[in-house]
Amino acid sequence: MTPHTFLITGGAGYLGSHAVVAFEQAGYKTIILDNFSNASEWSLAGIEKILGYCPPVHKEDIRDREALRRIFQQYNFTGVIHFAWLKAVGESCAEIGYYHENNISGSITLFQTMEEFSVRKIIFSSSATVYDARNIAPITEDMPLHTTNPYGTTKLIIEKLLEDYATHARWSVTALRYFNPIGAHPSGHIGEVPAGVPNNLLPYIFDVASGKREKVRVFGHDYDTEDGTGVRDYIDVNDLIQAHLLAYKNLTEGFYIYNIGTGRGTSVLEMISLVWEVTGKKVPYEIAPRRNGDVATTYCDTSRAENELGFKSKISVKEGIIETWRFIQSN
Ligand SMILES: NC(=O)c1ccc[n+]([C@@H]2O[C@H](COP(=O)([O-])OP(=O)(O)OC[C@H]3O[C@@H](n4cnc5c(N)ncnc54)[C@H](O)[C@@H]3O)[C@@H](O)[C@H]2O)c1
C-alpha cells in the first residue's frame, strides 16, 4: 500500500523541518514546498542527517498557482500541513500588504489548488495570537478573539476561510493554535535559526548568552506574577509536532481548533535563569517599562487537545533549553 503522502508547506522552516522528520519516521511520505524566504538549504542537510535521506523538495511559492498545479499533478496527496507563512509580528506592522499577500493570497491559492485536485485534508498552523489579550488564563478555544497586528489578523482570516471549506466543501480541517514553540530536535541537526533580531524570547536570551547581544530587556517587572515578570506557555517543538501526528490520526470532516501548549506558565526571569543554568553563561538583563498590549500571564487550557486528540506535552521547558543549546553548539 502506498503510504499517505503529505505536502508540507514551509517544510524547510523551523517547525516544518521537524514535521518532515516526524511524519517520515511515522511511516508517511512527505513532500517539502518552501520558497526559502526564511529558510536555508542547511535545514535540508539537517533533515538528511537525521533520516539518512531528504524527501523531495520543491523550491516554489504558495502564491504561484502554476507551480502548485504541477506539484499536485505529480503526487497523490493525502493532505497538506500548512506552515508556510511570514511570522515576524513587528515586520507585519511595517509591511502590511506584503504580509497580507504572502499569508492570505498564498493560502487562498493553496486552498483553491487543493480543491481543484480534491485534496480536502489540512492541518493549519494557527497561533495563540488570535486570542483577545484581555482573556484570563487558562485560555480555552472558545474565548473571544481579537488581533492587534497584521500577522495575527492573517491567521484569524485564514482560520475563517478554512471553516468555509469545511462547512461548504466537506473538508477536514484542524487548526492548531500554538502557544510559544521552543527547543530543537534531540539530534542537534535541526532547530530554530532566527534571521536578524529574534522576535521570540528564548532565541534572544541565547543571543545574549552567546555574546551576540549585550543584554535582555525585560519588559515589566511589576506584573501580578510571582517574580513580577510576564508569564508565557512554552511548548517544546517535538511535543508540538506529535500533536500534528495525533491531529492527523483524528482528522475527520469538519472544522476543529485545538490549543497546543503545556498549560503551564514560565516567567521571563525563570527563562533567563534556566538558560544561565544550562549553558553556564551569564545572561545580563535590564528591566524596561511594560510594552503596550502585553499581559501579565497567559497559558492555555489543554483539556480539549487532551480529551479529543489524546495530546499531552511531555517535555519540560528546561529540556527544551537543553535541546536548543545542543543545536547551537553543534552548528
Ligand atoms: N515559531 C513560532 O513562534 C510560531 C508560533 C505560532 C505559530 N507559528 C506558525 O507556525 C508556522 C511555522 O512557523 P516557523 O516558526 O517554522 O516559521 P519559519 O519561518 O521557520 O517557517 C516558515 C517557512 O515558510 C516559508 N515560506 C514563507 N512564505 C512562503 C511562501 N509564500 N511560499 C513558500 N514558502 C514560504 C519560509 O521560507 C519558511 O521556511 C507559521 O505558520 C507560523 O506563523 C509559529
Contact 127, 152 (CB under 8 A): yes
Q: What is the per-residue pLDDT for 331? A: 87
Indicate if ligand 1 lies below 6 Å from the C-beta of 176.
no
Indicate if ligand 1 lies below 6 Å from the C-beta of 35.
yes
Indicate if ligand 1 lies below 6 Å from the C-beta of 131.
no
Question: Is 74 among the domain residues?
Answer: yes
Distance from residue 39's CA to the centre of ligand 1 (Å): 9
Contact 48, 74 (CB under 8 A): no
* 3-class SS letters over 151-162: HHHHHHHHHHHH
Question: Is 167 among the domain residues?
Answer: yes
Q: What is the dihedral of CA 237, 96, 102, 305, to 10 degrees?
A: 30
Q: Is the pLDDT assigned to residue 284 strictly greater than 90? A: yes
Tell me the average pLDDT across 8-36.
98
Q: Is the pLDDT assigned to residue 204 strictly greater than 90? A: yes
Grid coordinates representing 210 are: 552567546
Is residue 151 part of the annotated active site? The answer reads yes
Question: Is 145 among the domain residues?
Answer: yes
Which of 14, 180, 259, when mutated, tests ligand 1's pocket best, judged by the most ligand atoms within 8 Å of its CB? 14
Contact 20, 47 (CB under 8 A): yes
Tell me the average pLDDT across 202-212.
95
Residue 63 alpha carbon, nearest atom of ligand 1:
31
Question: Is 49 among the domain residues?
Answer: yes
CATH of residue 159: 3.40.50.720
Which among 127, 109, 141, 139 has a CA at the least distance from the CA of 33?
A: 109
Active-site residue, from 14, 99, 151, 165: 151
Q: Is the pLDDT assigned to residue 1 strictly greater than 80? A: no
How many CB atoms within 10 Å of residue 206?
24
Question: Is 103 among the domain residues?
Answer: yes
Distance from residue 267's CA to the centre of ligand 1 (Å): 25
Indicate if ligand 1 lies below 6 Å from the C-beta of 83.
yes
Q: Residues 159-170: pLDDT tens digits?
A: 999 999 999 999
Strand partners, 257: 175
Grid coordinates representing 44 are: 535540508
Q: What is the per-residue pLDDT for 88? A: 93
Closest protein CA for atom 1 of ligand 1: 181
Indicate if ligand 1 lies below 6 Å from the C-beta of 62.
yes
Question: Is 288 among the domain residues?
Answer: no
How many structural domains are present in the chain? 1
> Which pTM does this prediction carry?
0.98
Residue 129's pLDDT band (cuts 50, 70, 90) = very high
DSSP 228-251: SS-EE-EEEHHHHHHHHHHHHHT-
| Domain carrying residue 12 | 5-183+234-261
Q: How many angstroms separate the CA atoms of 1 and 319, rounded?
A: 38
234 or 1: which leads in pLDDT: 234
Question: Is 213 among the domain residues?
Answer: no
Indicate if ligand 1 lies below 6 Å from the C-beta of 113.
no
Question: Is 152 among the domain residues?
Answer: yes
